[in-house]
Amino acid sequence: MTDLTAKKYGVISLGCDKNRVDSEKLLALIRNAGCEICSDINEAQVIVVNTCAFLNSARKEAVETVIDCASYRGANLEKLVVTGCLPQKFIGEVFPALTEADVFLGVNDYDLFFTALQRAYDGERVNCVGEGCGLADRARVVTTPEHYAYLKIADGCNNFCTYCLIPKIRGRYRSYPLEELVREAEGLGDISELILVAQDVTRYGEDGGQRRLAELIRALTALDNIGSVRLLYCYPEAIDDALVEQLKTNSKLIKYIDIPLQHSEDRVLKLMNRRGTRESYLALIKRLKEEVPGIAVRSTFICGFPTETEEESEALASFLKEAELVNCGFFAYSREPDTAAYRLKGQILQREKNRRVRAMYGVQKALSRRFLRGFVGKKLKVLCDGVDYEAGCFVGRAYFQAPDIDGKVYFNCPSAVQGLYYDVLITSSSDYDLFGRTEDYCTENDDD
């Protein structure tokens, strides 16, 4: 038998923040077995690539990353493990073709990690996709900056949007037990911001007969080690009275909500198998703004969905102007095999899809610029994320800015600590970012 505890391990996590949480649990499994985890992939004897397969571009990145990692053979690398969404959905294609890898595990096979790895050291090329039971231990090695972390509260999806592979990769929606999530959050230590994620956080508990997101929020915000909670990926039709009440009254729940609307026009939404309408979306946004003053509503949209007309694209632009969302992401429709939309006639040329994406970003940029300009001359509570050495100042986020997907606040301060909040006087703005200084920095300069 090979002494696997004597090996050095490196993990590369691709894709979304939900994938990141899976990688963090695998890292904890490796660490708790007494193994060494390398921050420098060059030193690793075992490299794990946790893959995304949501879009063709993600699959291409995953394959290229595995091939790149294989180039370390002949130095320290001995075994290459591929996990996650790519093998889960496409194992029939990648196992015979991606010969660079020694072990393949799916999204629920991490409990077989060491067993499969030992088989690889014994000379096998191993496919364990679909054979595991998941990880019962919710321990994690957090890979985000120490003051914030993601909490994955469910897996899978029941929405069956016609463009999306997630149900065929991750399966039906499954909520994790509330008590386990609370223990996991407690085990993260002192966290300024806990970010709840799932393919659809609003349906938490629904698979057990009752939505329990509001209950989960209350339990998490009651923890002394959790400073605040942020919500990502809320399906619009599942935003209920209980959730709105939490946004209104829970001081530790950040007044921010990410609602992937995907489009505004009824015909396109129906083709996407989305249950909303332009009217219902505008009504929801209006309600949130009226009942939760100052709430930041973010969204994502798909441009160039099959048969989308120029008039419908222009109507989406008018929707953006009417809705006045804080920030948006826009994506060109990706034609994915094994989805219902793949078979639709009226596929749009890639260059036209890209043009529509650019047009929507142009509309949203003007809206974001105007929104941010409204903070100039005012003070904002900013969570310090650290130092931006290139900009020569501290960098952080206001309540309407989630990590990686929204803008930032760049600020001058005599001294700032990562994970603490600072009152920042905003002195200028750009299309997506704010700039300012703390009052004591201003006073210090005046004394000079």
pLDDT on residue 448: 38
For 59, 270, 332, 342, 359, the CA distances from 348, given in Å and listed in that order, are 22, 18, 10, 12, 16
DSSP-assigned states of every residue in 132-194: ----S-------S-TTEEEEE-EE--S---TT--HHHHH-S-EEPPHHHHHHHHHTT-SBSEE
CB 401 within 8 A of CB 231: no
Residues 194 and 313 in one domain: yes
Q: How far is the C-alpha of 343 from the C-alpha of 316, rounded, in Å? A: 24
Among residues 342, 373, 404, the one where a domain terminates is 373
CATH code at position 286? 3.80.30.20
Q: Is residue 105 part of a domain?
A: yes
* Count of structural domains, the chain: 3
Q: How far is the C-alpha of 31 from the C-alpha of 38, rounded, in Å? A: 11
The total of other beta-carbon atoms located within 10 Å of residue 349's CB is 9
Residues 30 and 54 in one domain: yes
Residues 122 and 167 in one domain: no
The total of other beta-carbon atoms located within 10 Å of residue 267's CB is 12
Residues 205 and 167 in one domain: yes
Q: Is residue 189 part of a domain?
A: yes
Q: How far is the C-alpha of 291 from the C-alpha of 302, rounded, in Å? A: 28
How confident is the prediction along the chain (448 residues), in pLDDT tens digits per residue? 899 999 999 999 999 999 999 999 999 999 999 999 998 999 999 999 999 999 999 999 999 999 999 999 988 999 999 999 999 999 999 999 999 999 999 999 999 999 999 999 999 999 999 999 988 778 999 999 999 999 999 999 999 999 999 999 999 999 999 999 999 999 999 999 999 999 999 999 999 999 999 999 999 999 999 999 999 999 999 999 999 999 999 999 999 999 999 999 999 999 999 999 999 999 999 999 999 999 999 999 999 999 999 999 999 999 999 999 999 999 999 999 999 999 999 999 999 999 999 999 999 999 999 999 999 999 999 999 999 999 999 999 999 999 999 999 999 999 999 999 999 999 999 999 999 999 988 654 444 3
Residues 319 and 398 in one domain: no
The H-or-E segment that residue 331 falls in is strand 327-332
Q: Which two tokens stand for residue 206?
A: 């629904």
Residues 91 and 172 in one domain: no
Residues 54 and 154 in one domain: no
Give the position of tokens 């093998």.
Answer: 87
Residues 269 and 193 in one domain: yes
Q: How far is the C-alpha of 19 from the C-alpha of 22, rounded, in Å? A: 5
Residues 244 and 336 in one domain: yes
pLDDT on residue 27: 96
Map 359-395 to HEC letters. Answer: HHHHHHHHHHHHHHHCCCCCEEEEEEEEEECCCCEEE
Q: Is residue 139 part of a domain?
A: no
Q: Is residue 329 part of a domain?
A: yes
Range of the domain at 83: 4-127
